[in-house]
């Protein structure tokens, strides 16, 4: 599959929200995505096929030397082909240009694919937060130094 990565534009928010709904039970709404996109500290990247089909996205908010990875998702039919890894690497590159030194995130302990992606990219768990999610699941807090 031929893909390319670019920054989010305002016109992408609708299709990102649609993919978000397919990927998460607690999906961000179009409004929440738009609000976050509008912040000046926002960085959003997406990955699309040659025929402009959205297959994945990632976004983060930075504050000086720290950033929080907010969401990463790849369409179910496109998983396991390295696209999540490509998105992470592109985000790291952007963050380095902005002089970000550390990226933080939270992940459900049951999310084996995401944990494998993060650990493979050098994130380490700093603590487990009990009942972090609305459904009572615990989260691992992770950090990576760029």
**Residue 115 in contact with residue 133, Cβ under 8 Å?**
no
Cβ nearer to ligand COA, comparing 64 with 124? 124
List 59, 72, 91, 95, residue binding ligand COA (CB under 6 A): 72
Write down the least CB distance from residue 87 to ligand COA, Å.
Answer: 7
Question: Which residues are 140's β-sheet partners?
Answer: 107, 128
**Distances in whole angstroms, Cα of residue 115 to Cα of each of 16, 19, 67, 69, 140:** 22, 21, 18, 14, 9
CA distance 102 to 124: 12
List 74, 90, 95, 139, residue binding ligand COA (CB under 6 A): 74
Cβ nearer to ligand COA, comparing 66 with 68? 68
Write down the least CB distance from residue 82 to ligand COA, Å.
Answer: 4
Q: Is 107 in the site for ligand COA (CB under 6 A)?
A: yes
List 5, 45, 67, 73, residue binding ligand COA (CB under 6 A): 73
Residue 92's SS3 state is helix
| DSSP 8-state secondary structure symbol assigned to residue 27 | P
CA distance 73 to 13: 14
Please give the residue ranges that form the binding site for ligand COA (CB under 6 A): 23, 71-74, 79-85, 107, 111-114, 116-117, 120
């Amino acid at each position: 599959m031929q893909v390319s990565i670019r920054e989010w534009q305002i016109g992408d928010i609708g299709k990102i929200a649609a993919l978000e709904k397919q990927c998460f039970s607690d999906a961000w709404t179009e409004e929440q995505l738009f609000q976050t996109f509008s912040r000046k500290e926002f960085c959003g990247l997406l990955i699309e096929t040659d025929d402009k089909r959205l297959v994945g996205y990632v976004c983060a908010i930075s504050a000086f030397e720290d950033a929080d990875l907010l969401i990463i998702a790849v369409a179910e039919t496109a998983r396991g082909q390295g696209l999540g890894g490509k998105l992470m690497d592109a985000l790291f590159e952007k963050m380095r240009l902005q002089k970000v030194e550390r990226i933080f995130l939270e992940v459900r302990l049951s999310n084996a694919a995401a944990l494998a992606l993060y650990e493979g990219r050098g994130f380490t768990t700093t603590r487990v937060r009990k009942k972090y999610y609305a459904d009572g699941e615990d989260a691992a807090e992770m950090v990576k130094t760029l």
